[in-house]
Amino acid sequence: MTPSMMAQERGEPLLQSGNGAAGGGAKGSPPPALARTVLKVLMWAVFLTWAAAIFFYPTKPAQAAFEGWMAATKQSLFGITGSIFLAFSAPILIVAALAYVYISAFPSDHIHVEKNKLKTLCFRLWTFPVLVDGPFGVVSAVEFIGIVLFIVYVVYSMTYYAVESVSLISKFGQISLTYSELLLYIIGLRFGSVGLFCMAFLFLPVSRGSVLLRLIDIPFEHATRYHVWLGHLTMALFTLHGLCYVIAWSLEGNLLGELAAWKEIGVANLPGVISLAAGLLMWVTSLHPVRKTYFELFFYTHQLYIIFVVFLAFHVGDFIFSFSAGPIFLFMLDRFLRFWQSRAKVDIISASCRPCGTVELVFSKPASLRYNALSFIFVQVRELSFLEWHPFSVSSSPMDGRYHMSILIKVLGSWTEKLRGIITDAQEQGRNGSESETGRITACVEGPYGHESPYHLMYENLILVAGGIGISPFLAILSDIIHRIEEGKPCMPKNVLVLWSVKKSNELSLLSAVDAQFISSSVSDKLHLDIQAFVTQESQPPLEEGIVGDDRKATGMFVKNGTTMSGLVGTGNNFWAGMYFAASTLGFVLAYALAQAYYVRRLNVFAWWHLGLVFVLCMAAGVALPGGLVVLLWHLSEKRKAEDDRWDAAAAAVPRAQDGEEEAEQTTNGADAADGGVSLAAVKTTRYGCRPQFEAEFAAFAEKAGGGAADVGVLVCGPPGLQASVARECRSHNLGRRGGRRRRAGAVFHFNSHSFDL
């Protein structure tokens, strides 16, 4: 089979999401650079203006400007709520709209574009670890700047509010409250105000398919860390907000009466208590010791976010809720789309257990669903739980095939143990000659998500550091690199070092899961691959090492659930995703206008909590009705495209079968080996009873890479301790220090992680 036909069979992998109508400009001449610059400047201008409005909101000049804005716009149909929404929520929606235009018009799908990205200061700050040990884990320079800015904002705002509160109290005349009670009321109000602004940022990183994350190329596994940090900050502020009021009510001697109060005009206390209680449950169960030991408890209690948001709207009313409504609306868009995608019961091409105890699932997917080797998916198995979704890195390369995607799952807890039990029972039935029940694994899939940029294709020199099952995404990377070189596609890596630590030698057999098991002589001339495996809990090779290394997995069970993976994902077709965003946003605005004109004003609705309910219902209606219609059309489009792909594949299979090309393809690997190619096992060196010495390994690799100022990409997937060790070594190399002494400048190591800390 010729390289061009192999490329047609496997399909072009996604370097930057954009297919169909979304890839405008990919085939023709690119739009002028001026348009790209204008869009970038416009997005940055809107975002920085929004951030500045939040940062300077406590100051008197900002308050005066805001009061003037409300006075000029409150007579509109949308009233004060519309004024606040335009000032504090609309900007982030405008940035999202511009982002859809940007990623559609300028898909960065050329490797040389990504290579140039290495030289930018921003990228170097993203990949330079500043903090390694501490409560935040490994923190890059950009992340550190973000943490400092949020701390400065909270301290500055509360200090300003505290000083202002003292001067404000002195202006009050004779009131029934004591000085302490009044101070608690004002400070509590300010804690709530700052917490509300922090909550606006809380929902941005948790939207898995968010166009904003795609725009700045932050994969969801990194964004979850920001959600955790912001969650701690937001809940701390809301807790202090509630605590100030509880203490003040206790001093007044009316604690229970105030807690149960549900006012028509003003803030309703009881909904606030319910919202805070839901938030506290989510907060406590999300703490790392609880989350790690009782993941199911963390997962189920986190569904209380609906109660948290809805009762917060009841608590503060529509106009205060609109301060943070924009990011919440973006989250609702993402959540509704994920609901549609997760309804599909996906066919499992193969479900098998490897001898090392790892489960392998191979899902059917449409050819139009693109991903890259650093993608991951969320998987639900309904026989185990209707609510639990678990993230897994994809272990297959998009170059391995157009119609399937595989993952490797290590058995670590009750969920994975039950999954392995289902598969082993089916395999046992197959060996006994009895027919296993079909549909015993009802799987649903969300995703794929992950890096927009092909991080592993951006460097000529690449180090992959894995711990245990962390090798899974690197298997996809190795297969992707080998296939791309074989087929003459753009591929930067020339020197690749894999450092893989495992506890037992039987885990080394996972290397056989790579689709490209043999490296042809033409590939080996262009790629220097070195795989260093470290077995930490065995001092010498086992007697049966050769047998274990084969890892001949049992025949996988096929499960027919009725369909392939759904293409309804935020990282999918840019055209349909943009249409969904536009229809939902316009639907929300129209629904709120109609509600104001024909319900609120006509029926004289004035209760704050009632207005908050109307506002939330209009948000939901905009997403579910016009947005749902677009999603339905998107689904029908994807379904028709999948049917066309199946017909094309069937038609293309006939001439190949007649020409004997299928047989030739099956013997390709063997021919490569006969022509001087080597297997992956041949380039693997195994060491027993030791761990990798990163200082020596990195220094040796830098010398082989040519030394000097070479850029070396370092990608790590494993436990937090492994990430910290690798990040520490990257930082030491980049700072040029060894043992407190300066060394001469050398290779620059760019650190990046690909791990979920759940």
- At 82-117, the pLDDT tens digits run 999 999 999 999 999 999 999 888 875 444 445 555
Q: Hey, what are 322's tokens?
A: 């609109």
Note whether residue 246 is domain-resident.
yes
Does the structure show a pLDDT above 70 at 516?
no
pLDDT of the residue at 517: 66
Rg of the chain taking only CA atoms, in angstroms: 28
Q: In what order do the strands lie in the sheet with 528-535?
A: 684-688, 528-535, 495-502, 461-467, 711-717, 748-753
Return the minimum-mean-pLDDT range out of 107-121, 139-153, 359-373, 653-667: 653-667
Q: Residue 445 pairs with which residues in a beta bridge?
A: 379
Residue 361 in any domain: the answer is no
Residue appearing with tokens 């948000």? 619
Q: Is residue 687 part of a domain?
A: no
Residues facing residue 496 across a β-bridge? 462, 529
The phi, psi pair for 432, rounded to 5°, reads -80, -5
pLDDT, averaged across the chain: 82
- Would you place residue 22 in the very low, low, confident or very high pLDDT band (cuts 50, 70, 90)? very low
Alpha carbon distance 624, 645 (integer Å): 30
User: What is the reported pLDDT for 662?
Assistant: 44
448 prior amide bond cis, ω within 30: yes
C-alpha closest to that of 307 among 334, 281, 345: 281
Query: How far apart (Å, rounded) are the C-alpha atoms in residues 670 and 436?
Result: 34
Question: What is the chain's length?
Answer: 758
Is 83 inside any structural domain?
A: yes
User: 197, 328 in Cβ contact below 8 A?
Assistant: no
What is the CA angle 657-660-665, rounded to 5? 100
Range of the domain at 598: 41-122+135-339+574-638
CA dihedral sign of residues 50, 51, 52, 57: positive
Average pLDDT over residues 578-595: 96
Nearest to 70 by CA among 62, 78, 80: 80
* Domain contains 631: yes
Of 50 and 703, the one with more pLDDT: 50
DSSP 603: T
Domain assignment present for residue 554? The answer is no
Task: Give the best-scoring range by mean pLDDT among 54-68, 406-420, 579-593.
Answer: 579-593
Please report which confidence band the pLDDT of residue 730 belongs to, taking 50, 70 and 90 as the band edges: confident
Query: Do the domain assignments include residue 749?
Result: no
Q: Let me know if residue 633 belongs to a domain.
A: yes
Looking at the DSSP assignment, which residues form a beta bridge with residue 394? 407
Q: What distance in Å separates the CA atoms of residue 155 and residue 150, rounded to the nearest whole number?
A: 9
- Tokens for 204, please give them: 């941005």
Q: Do the Cβ atoms of 557 and 436 come closer than 8 Å? A: yes
Contact 508, 752 (CB under 8 A): no
Helix (H) or strand (E) holding 391: strand 390-393
State the total domains in the chain.
1
**DSSP-derived secondary structure letter, 532:** E
The pTM of the full predicted model, rounded to 2 decimals, is 0.87
429 versus 396: the higher-pLDDT residue is 396
